[in-house]
Amino acid sequence: MFDTPLPGRRLLGLTTFTFRPRFPRITITLEDPGGVGGGIIGTIFGIWRKITEGPATKADFMQPGKAMVAAGYCLYGSATIVVLSTGHGVNGFMLDPSIGEFILTHPKMRVPEKGKVYSINEGYARFWSKGLTEYIHTRKFPEVSLTAV
- The pLDDT, as a whole number, for residue 81 is 93
- The pLDDT, as a whole number, for residue 1 is 33
- The tens digit of pLDDT for each residue in 74-132 reads 988 888 999 999 999 999 999 999 999 999 999 999 988 888 877 888 888 999 999 99
- The tens digit of pLDDT for each residue in 132-143 reads 999 999 888 887
- The tens digit of pLDDT for each residue in 5-40 reads 344 444 444 444 444 556 666 666 555 555 555 556
- The pLDDT, as a whole number, for residue 103 is 95
One-letter amino acid at 130 equals K
Q: Is the pLDDT of residue 65 over 80?
A: yes
- The pLDDT, as a whole number, for residue 102 is 93
Write down all domains in the chain, each with its CATH number in brackets.
1-110 (3.30.540.10), 112-149 (no CATH)
- The pLDDT, as a whole number, for residue 141 is 87
- The pLDDT, as a whole number, for residue 77 is 82
